[in-house]
Amino acid sequence: MQRNASTLYPILLVHGLFGFDSIGKFDLFHGIRQALRNAGAQVFIPFLSATHSNEMRGQQLLEQIDRVLAGTGARKVNLIGHSQGALAARYAGAVAPDKVASVTSVSGPNHGSELADCLRKALKPGELPEYIAVAASTLFVEFLGYLSGRQQIPHNAIAALNALTTEGVALFNEQYPQGLPSTWGGQGAQIVNEVHYYSWSGTLQGPIWKEGLNALDPLHTFCRGFSQFFDREAGQNDGMVGRFSSHLGTVLRSDYPMDHMDSINQTAGLVRSGIDPVDLYLEHAERLIKQGL
């Protein structure tokens, strides 16, 4: 069946921590941008700092929204943010609602990440492990920049880590509460200041030996390992973000059988069965069309 993703407003896929738009022919949103374009959407991937605070990345996003609006003649954009990209998208929607038609959080840590909490506790400020982690992060970000051929933009690993903790996101939420649920695990307002809010995410499900070929995916193995650091949402997380922590606006579903990287189709298209991450984006584009967005 021919899919229709020709939304009224352009779609911006906003990457999260250590993200990028593409390296050579390799897209971070693997197969997603092309599938949306093939179905008629105008799609862009903003280039944001791989590591930095939510506000800094949100401000960078606003600047690129202006470029998209100027280049396309559109009045607004639809933002779909993965992981920390959801927080940048929320910032843009809150600060410039006249330029944003919708904000969709995909596996976004909208109430913080317990994994980030554990890392923050382990990397005590001013001590050697933190210095080592910062140095390693800086080298990795610079390596990504070299591979992508992009000019370096500011990055700050500690600002990113602090921004993703439960405490850090709580402070962010005090300033930008649009779309947040009033109760833990609930749904938030669908429309705030004429901006539509949506979210979806996944959880690790069952033992790894029942995952088939997906058990051989190294990214899935990492997510399985990271999931052991969750307490409040033990057994209800995707390896990096808790299920209920991801809720924002209209919660389409928060227990898809996907890990954190599956939600941008990283290796999932090769080894995962039972769910097609790309199709979720196409379905959402059709949803946005029905809302006149």
In the chain, what is the straight-line distance between the N-terminal and C-terminal CA atoms, in Å? 22
In percent, how much of the chain has pLDDT > 90?
Answer: 57
Average pLDDT over residues 265-270: 71
Q: Give the range with max mean pLDDT: 28-37, 78-87, 272-281.
A: 78-87
Residue 143 pLDDT exceeds 50 = no
Closest CA to 264 of 77, 51, 26: 26
Using alpha carbons, list the distances in angstroms from residue 30 to 45, 93, 191, 235.
12, 25, 29, 27
- The SS3 assignment for 215 reads helix
The pLDDT score that the predictor gives to residue 16 is 81
Q: What is the DSSP letter of 255?
A: E
Neighbouring residues of 223: CB distance < 8 A, sequence distance ≥ 6: 204, 238, 239, 240, 259, 260, 261
Residue 247 pLDDT exceeds 60 = yes
Helix or strand run (H / E) with residue 280: helix 277-290
What residue spans define the domains of the chain? Answer: 11-290
Query: In terms of DSSP bridges, do strands 26-27 and 22-23 run parallel, antiparallel, or are they unpaired?
Result: antiparallel
Average pLDDT over residues 236-265: 93
In this prediction the pTM is 0.89
* pLDDT tens string 184-220: 999 999 999 999 999 999 999 877 766 776 666 777 8
Which residue matches tokens 């898809």? 256
Catalytic machinery residues: 83, 238, 260
Helix or strand run (H / E) with residue 283: helix 277-290
Residue 131 pLDDT exceeds 50 = no
Question: Which fold, 11-290?
Answer: Rossmann fold (3.40.50)
Residue 26: pLDDT band with limits 50, 70, 90: low
**Runs of H (alpha helix) within 99-226:** 114-122, 128-148, 157-164, 166-175, 218-226
Q: What does the angle CA 284 – CA 219 – CA 132 come to, to the nearest 5 degrees?
A: 115
Residue 25 pLDDT exceeds 60 = no
What secondary structure does DSSP assign to 70-119, as a single string? HHH--S-EEEEEETHHHHHHHHHHHH-TTTEEEEEEES--TT--HHHHHH
Mean pLDDT over the full length of the chain: 84
The pLDDT score that the predictor gives to residue 132 is 47
Give me the residues paired with residue 12 across strands: 44, 79
**Runs of H (alpha helix) within 186-250:** 218-226
Residue 272 pLDDT exceeds 80 = no
The pLDDT score that the predictor gives to residue 19 is 57
The pLDDT score that the predictor gives to residue 240 is 86
Give me the residues paired with residue 146 across strands: none
